[in-house]
Every structure is written in structure tokens, then in C-alpha cells.
Amino acid sequence: MASINIDDVTKRFGEGTNEVVAVDDISMEIRDGEFVVFVGPSGSGKSTLLRMVAGLERQSEGDIVIGDTIVNELGPRARDIAMVFQNYALYPNMTVRENMSFGLKMSTGLSEEEIAERVESTAEMMGIHSLLDNTPGEMSGGQQQRVALGRAIVRDPNVFLMDEPLSNLDAKLRAEMRTEINRLQNDLGVTTLYVTHDQTEAMTMGDRLVVLDHGELQQIGTPLECFYRPANRFVAGFIGEPSMNFFEGHTEGGTLRLDGFDYDLTERMQSSVEPSTDVALGVRPEDLSLNDQPAGGNEFEAVVDVVEPMGSVSYVYLRPENGAKTDEPFIVETDGQRPISEDERVYVEVPNRDVHLFDGDTGETVHQRRLDDRAQVALQEHVQAIRTQ
């Protein structure tokens, strides 16, 4: 097993006016045995960063250290890593047994008996022992993905690198494989870097998240840190499903004038923002409340645009009724058994403790939501457990 250090790494493609900075001066330390997820939208640099760790791309600047070795000049084979790709990359003319043993035959001095023993035990672990004599064309997508994982595991590497390995699977199988990969990584204790654009995948799998956008590092933290304590507006909007709602506005004394309604700032909020400045208010769909009548406090009237029943909950898309200029609806999560229909007028209550404020110019977080004592303790314990594992 091995730790990974990424020190001031930059990757450029092209030259002059055609130059593109795919990864911009990123540094991080990944601890031995940690499961770290690189997450971000398409073009954020997450796969490029992974490929540089693998040795498939050469960084333009900076150092990559695996264990105690600077690997800048080493090829992929010498780095003692194993990769799992989105397209499985299985040899179609080989059986499962041959696919899993091929890398060992090419890169190790193990005997035929030792290779066979490793393949058999790994296939048993992955639940594909009965498929050892099948070819990829005779298997489902989920079975092929298990073979690809088994081929990586059988090598017993210092580091696993996984580049969107579940994106070709259907939703149900993807959820099952998330659990399977988590269980395997916990059992094996191998340092793992995992790339995904799916923030739900990231939240459920990673010890820590590395959130990227346009090649720049936005935040490194546990899933709960990124959810409850986002560093900026991008992280707040990207982490969480459905996304956080944002309302643009500016401060006037103790009031935040927003598009469509006014919001009374608490003393704690006022101490976080400058007077007469542009600020965005962010609040998650599950923290907003829908009322049939005015309840007093921070609320505004809205009209229902679309209702998405999801079973136990419904996602209600609404538009402010009081002169809002935005064309974008916002979302409220409500009880799935509550009857609600399109064009219905309701009152939306915005909580005092569950909102974030973001600088209107930089997007940086200037005020974080309050957590109750139990949630605060749980978050601290979760963070401490990850950092001391």
C-alpha cells in the first residue's frame, strides 16, 4: 500500500494562443489506504489528473510521489498501480481466466501455479468464479465490470485508479456496484483514486472528495464537509441532489433584497457580510417549507410550475410570484403524500439557520448554515475518523 502526494501539478495542452490549462497548480496528500474521489463536471480536469498519477500523461509542472518515490520519470508499469476504465478494456478473444492472468504473466515473475491461485481466489471474491471460462461477449455489462475489477485486484497493486468505471451500467446495477467497490476497498485497504462526474456516486463512496472545476481545485473534504460546509458557490451547487437553490440579491442594512422577496438577516448573518454588497442566498430544497397560508417570518408567495413525484418525497418546482425577474424555477422537497398541483399558489418559508450566503463577485462562502448540536458532533466525529484512519 502507498500514500500519494501531488505537489503543485499543472498540465498544459497546446502552445501560445492555443494553450489550454487542463490542471492548474493542484496540490494534495492522499493517505495510505484512503478512498479519494475526484469529482466535477466534464472538462474539470479530473481524468487528466488521474492519468498523470497513472503515468499515462506527463505533467507540465510539479511532482507526483507514490509512497516514498518521485514517479515523474517512471512509466505506468513501474508505478505499481492498477487501473479500471469506463469501457472495461477486456480482451474479447480471451476468457475471463486469461484476461485476469494476462497482466501477471507480462509484468511479474510469478509461476503458473501462483498466477492460477491468485486468479481463482480473486474470482471467488468477486463472485465470478463460474464465469472463468467465458469470454466477454458471453457476459452482461455488470459481469464484465466485475472482471475488470478482478483483473485489477489480482495484481495486488499499491494503488487502484478508477476512471468512471460504472458510467456504462444501468441505475440499479450502478448502485449495487457502488456498494461492491466500497466493500472491496474496505477489505483490501488499497489506496484508491476514483473519478466520477456523478456527485451521488462521490458522496456515497469517498472518504474524501476532491472537487474540481475548469482544472482548478475548489475544495478537498469529507462528503459531509462538502455538503454542509461548501467552500464556495460552485461546490454548494454541485454537491447535493437536487442542487442547492440560489437567490441573487444585495444587502441594505439588516435586509437582503432578493429577486422576488426580502430576507431579514440575523445578527450572525449581518456580521458575515458587508453593507450594500451583492450577495447570493443559498438554501437546499429539503430545508424550504411550503405553507398554504402565511406563517410570518421570511416567506414569499410562489406558484407551482412542475411537480415530480418520487415516492416518499416530491420535488416541487416553483417561481416567485412577487415580481421575480429570473426565468429559472427553484426546487422544494416536500412530503410525497402531500397533494399539490401545477399553478397552485403557496407560501415558501425560508429558514433562518439553514441558509448559506455567498459573495456576489467571487462566489466564496461568507456565511455557513447552522447545525444542531447532534449534527455538529456527528460531522466532527466523521471528519476525525477519516483523518486518523
Q: How do residues 219-236 score in pLDDT, each as one tens digit?
A: 999 999 999 999 999 999
| 239-253 burial: b if 16+ Cβ within 10 Å, else e | bbeebbbbbbbbbee
3-state helix, strand, coil in the chain (%, to 5): 30, 30, 35
Kindly report the average pLDDT of the chain as a whole number.
90
Strand-strand pairing, 289-291 and 345-349? antiparallel
H or E, element range at 173: helix 171-188
Whether the Cβ atoms of residue 217 and residue 183 lie closer than 8 Å to each other: no
- Could you tell me where the DSSP H helices lie in 195-250? 199-205, 223-228, 233-238
In order of start, what are the domains of the chain with their CATH numbers?
A: 4-229 (3.40.50.300), 245-372 (2.40.50.140)
Is-above-0.95 flag for pTM?
no
- Please give the Cα distance from 76 to 159 (Å, whole number): 11
Burial class (CB in 10 A: 0-12, 13-18, 19+), 341: exposed
Quick: pLDDT tens for 49-68. 999 999 999 999 999 999 99
Residue type, position 354, single letter: D
C-alpha cell at 262: 426580502
* pLDDT interval class at 37 (50, 70, 90): very high
